[in-house]
Every structure is written in C-alpha cells, then in structure tokens.
C-alpha cells in the first residue's frame, strides 16, 4: 500500500476538510478526493461521511486511524534508521507561545543553522490548547509549554527551566520607583494589559487580582506581547511578563519594575507526542533548546 494514502487519510481526519488537507499536503483537492476513494476501495470500507461542512470519520475510520498512524510512525523509524549515519536534515515544526517564540526561539534557530544547516525549523505560535492539540494530532514535532504541570493524553514533557516574572509599569506611572511594595489590594484598583487568555502566567495574575475582595481591576487582553508592552510603556496600566521579554526595555528605562507581591516564576517544558519517535532533526532541535536554556 502507498503510505501517501495514509498520510492523506490522517491529515483529512485531523482537518475535517478536503480543502484544508489539500493546502496542507500541497495537493490538488481532486487528488485528495481520489486518494481517499482509493484507500477506501483498498480497505473495503467507507472512512468518511461527506457532509456539507466537511468530512467526518465513520466508526470504521475512527477505528483504523490509530493503526494508520502506527504505520506512518513505523515508516518514519525505517527512514530514520536508514539515514542515521548521514547529515542531520529535515523540517521540524515547533509549537510555542509568543513569549518563547519572540525571546528564545530566534537564538535556538541561529545556533541550529550553524550546527545543522540542513535542518529547517518552522515555528507555529499558539496558546497551550492549540499547541497540545498540534502535538496530539501530529501536526507538531515538539513544543515549548509555559505551564506548571504538563498532564495531557499522549503528551510527554521535560521541565527545562523557570522564567522569572516581572510586574511592570511606565516610568511615569504612580507606582514607579516606590519604596513600599504595592499590595494586592492596591494592584486590584489598577488597569492591566495582559497576554491573551490561555497564557498561564497572565491567567494566574488575573485570578489573584479578581480574588481580592471588592476588586475592580480593568483587564485588557492582547494576542501580542508587543501590543501589551507598548500600552504599558505609554502609561496606560500595568502588566506582568517574563524578564527575558522586557530586559532591554528595563535597561533603556522604557519600563520600570514595580515592587509588589512575590510572583512565582513560570516553568518551561519541552513536550512531544509520547508515542512518536522523534527524527534526528527533531532531536537536534530539542538538544539545542536544552543548550539554550542551560547556558
């Protein structure tokens, strides 16, 4: 059996759309349709119900999906073994939140290009839910998660480091340069600009603020750290970010650290699918991530 048919099958099961599958696999939509029909004929069963909103796995399709993934994984291991002595090469898709994509992954990619020039890293920014889904469905080869605990089905993770957090304001803000630390009660009266929902450290701060009796904080969420940082630098409110994302702004005086309650750091985990054997390229990426955070 041509394993490309299985690749199309697993991709369509993941996307639920012939159009999206064609885009992902760089095929004509008609080719995707032909390949699915060919596989269904070879297996003697219908794998998908064709609905107006897309393709939905049948009971047989759901039963055979895991087996198809196992076959593709075995094929991957076969090719990995065959090329074990050659140069490390291939594309590695890495999922991570913007916090890590902007402050850490560029240095990882630069180092990789020097050590393994034939390895291409493709970044997919996203929150924890999207990244975990990418790991579970096989869309991502590995991921960096900002979570205290990583406990998701089919996902295994290694704690890499902990990033210290900083409470921030503009130099002109009334809380800047205070000798006395701000209390949770005082902070709950402020305006905050936080990273989008699903960001673990932003969500944790929001929970603290909203738990203060009589709390009236105004919480604005952004999908962009740069937008968050710009609003705070303009004196519109406060935020919390990892120190590595604002080190330059603190050095130049565009932002000030606010003395306040102790904020626990946020853990960084390197995660992958527990049943997928990482390629040599994926292992090289993982090694460089570990080296970056431990240097």
Q: Helix, strand or coil for residue 157?
A: strand
Decide: pTM greater than 0.85. Answer: no
Residue closest to 127 by CA, chosen among 210, 221, 207, 220: 221
CA distance 229 to 168: 9
Strand 90-96 relative to strand 119-125: parallel, antiparallel, unpaired? parallel
**Cβ–Cβ < 8 Å for 129, 274:** no
Q: How many residues does the chain have?
A: 295
The CA distance from 236 to 193, in Å, is 8
Per-residue pLDDT of the chain (295 residues; tens, 9 = 90+): 788 999 999 999 989 999 999 988 889 999 999 999 999 999 999 999 998 888 999 999 999 998 998 898 888 777 766 666 667 888 999 999 888 988 899 999 999 999 999 999 999 988 888 899 999 888 899 999 999 889 999 999 999 999 999 999 999 999 998 889 999 999 999 999 998 888 889 999 999 999 999 888 899 998 888 899 999 999 999 999 999 999 999 999 999 999 999 899 999 999 999 888 888 899 999 999 999 998 7
- As to burial, measured by CB atoms within 10 angstroms (0-12 exposed, 13-18 middle, 19+ buried), residue 204 is middle
Residues 105-114: contacts with CB under 8 Å, at least 24 apart? 105/144, 107/292, 108/285, 108/288, 108/289, 108/292, 111/288, 111/291, 111/292, 112/284, 112/285, 112/288
Specify which residues 238 forms β-bridges with: 192
User: Which domains are seen in the chain, by residue range?
Assistant: 3-82 (1.10.10.10), 90-162+267-294 (3.40.190.10), 165-263 (3.40.190.10)
C-alpha closest to that of 140 among 119, 158, 125 = 125
């Amino acid at each position: 059996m041509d394993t490309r048919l299985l690749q199309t099958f697993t991709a369509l099961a993941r996307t639920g759309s012939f159009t999206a599958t064609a885009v992902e696999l760089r095929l004509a939509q008609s080719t995707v349709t032909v390949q699915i029909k060919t596989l269904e004929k070879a297996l003697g069963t219908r794998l998908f119900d064709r609905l107006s909103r897309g393709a939905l796995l049948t009971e047989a399709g759901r039963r055979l999906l895991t087996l198809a993934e196992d076959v593709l994984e075995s094929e991957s291991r076969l090719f990995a073994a065959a090329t074990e002595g050659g140069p490390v090469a291939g594309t590695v898709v890495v999922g991570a939140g913007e916090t890590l994509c902007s402050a850490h992954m560029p240095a990882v990619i630069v180092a990789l290009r020097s050590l393994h020039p034939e390895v291409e890293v493709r970044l997919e920014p996203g929150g924890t839910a999207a990244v975990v889904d990418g790991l579970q469905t096989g869309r991502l080869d590995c991921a960096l998660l900002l979570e205290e605990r990583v406990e998701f089905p089919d996902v295994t993770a290694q704690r890499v480091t902990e990033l210290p957090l900083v409470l921030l304001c503009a130099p002109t803000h009334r809380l800047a340069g205070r000798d006395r630390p701000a209390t949770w009660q005082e902070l709950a009266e402020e305006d905050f600009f936080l990273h989008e929902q699903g960001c673990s450290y932003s969500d944790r701060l929001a929970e603290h603020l909203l738990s203060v009796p009589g709390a009236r904080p105004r919480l604005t969420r952004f999908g962009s750290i740069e937008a968050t940082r710009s609003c705070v630098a303009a004196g519109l409110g406060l935020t919390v970010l990892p120190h590595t994302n604002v080190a330059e702004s603190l050095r130049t005086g565009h932002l000030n650290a606010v003395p306040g309650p102790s904020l626990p750091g946020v853990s960084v985990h390197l995660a992958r699918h527990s049943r997928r054997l990482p390629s040599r390229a994926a292992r090289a990426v993982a090694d460089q991530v570990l080296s970056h955070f431990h240097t």
